[in-house]
Amino acid sequence: AADHTMYHAKHAGRNNVCFYGDILHLKALGREHVALQSRLSAAIRCERLSVFYQPVVSARDGGVIAVEALARWQDEHNGWISPDLFVPMAEKVGLIQELSDLVMQQAFPQLRAWRDAGLTQKLMLNISRSQLFSPVFVSRLVERLAAHRLRPHDVIVEITESAALNDYARQLKHLRQLASAGFQIAIDDFGTGYSSLAQVNEMRAQWLKVDVSFTQKLHTEAGRRVMQAIVQFGQGLGLGLVVEGVESLDAARYLQGLGVEYLQGFHFSEPVPAGVAELWMRLGLANKV
């Protein structure tokens, strides 16, 4: 019993009582890390993760053309933990599919409601490579969507570029299955990985999401030249281009001038709860472009 801590969740989903996993075999990793991992496992099992939404905005008129679903976790001891930390952690402890299920469980009915209200039509969904490689992933995703009368076409699946080099052939196979099922594919954090021009084509991506790090260098001449090259690359391949990390009106205007169609970033809105995202959909963000 010493190895398990019982946790009574007030709003536990399927079970009233959730257990922290056995933490003994993870001791080598260091106390803090292990404690956090156990709490993450409990949070996932007890369905205590939430989803925030960040608008993707048309550079032309500030309309919200899609929202990106981003997982959120508030740990009772450490407060909000970045998904850059807990998503890899969930992968490591083998709970990434469960985490993703939680995100879909919240985001799909939400998208259904928004579509019924004539609001945002598309959801951008982050998935990790281990999920992509699961043989049942595509069929499960299609099934889950169908339960909410949604189609693959309503979802843009984001896969990070840094994942693009290892297991490339295997990844291609799975991306093609996704594309054949009707999903649109976006290469996330574009520019941080190693995709060649040919590979971007092969991956059947329809969207490139330009990484925040490039947007943050627009104040330098070199940074602007790199961004121009990326934009030409995307436009040349006929891909939809979303530039992430737009934090100022200056950046928005500059990107608009380059012919970038879609923008995302704190200048428009941080990732926010569904209710706030809905407000932006209704009002638009025309005053921000």
User: What does 154 bind: ligand C2E, Mg ion, none (CB cut-off 5 to 8 Å by kind)?
Assistant: none
Stretch that binds ligand C2E, among 39-47, 78-86, 142-150, 171-179 (CB under 6 A): 78-86
Specify the DSSP element, H or E, that contains 283.
helix 274-283
Count the helices and strands in the chain (H runs, E runs). 11, 11
Q: Which of 58, 126, 184, 264 binds Mg ion (CB under 5 A)?
A: 126
Report the C-alpha gap between 35 and 45 in whole angstroms.
15
Decide if residue 188 touches Mg ion (CB under 5 A): yes
Output 194 or 266, the one with its CB closest to ligand C2E: 266
User: What does 271 bind: ligand C2E, Mg ion, none (CB cut-off 5 to 8 Å by kind)?
Assistant: ligand C2E
Stretch that binds ligand C2E, among 23-31, 58-66, 218-226, 238-246 (CB under 6 A): 238-246
Phi, psi of 23 (to 5 degrees): -100, -5
**Under a CB-based contact definition with an 8 Å cutoff, are residues 246 and 224 in contact?**
no
Stretch that binds Mg ion, among 109-117, 124-132, 148-156, 276-284 (CB under 5 A): 124-132
Output 21 or 55, the one with its CB closest to ligand C2E: 55
Decide if residue 154 touches Mg ion (CB under 5 A): no
- SS3 category, 85: helix
Decide if residue 161 touches Mg ion (CB under 5 A): no
**Under a CB-based contact definition with an 8 Å cutoff, are residues 188 and 181 in contact?**
no
Tell me the per-residue interface mask from 19 to 48 with ligand C2E, x by CB under 6 A, - otherwise. Answer: ------------------------------
C-alpha pair distances (Å), 127 with each of 35, 114, 176, 178: 25, 22, 15, 12
Report the chain's terminal Cα–Cα distance, integer Å.
Answer: 58
- SS3 category, 2: coil
Touching ligand C2E, residues 97-136 (CB under 6 A): 100, 103, 126-128
Report the C-alpha gap between 31 and 79 in whole angstroms.
18
Site of interaction with ligand C2E (CB under 6 A): 54, 70-71, 82-84, 87, 100, 103, 126-128, 158, 160, 188-189, 212, 244-247, 264-266, 271
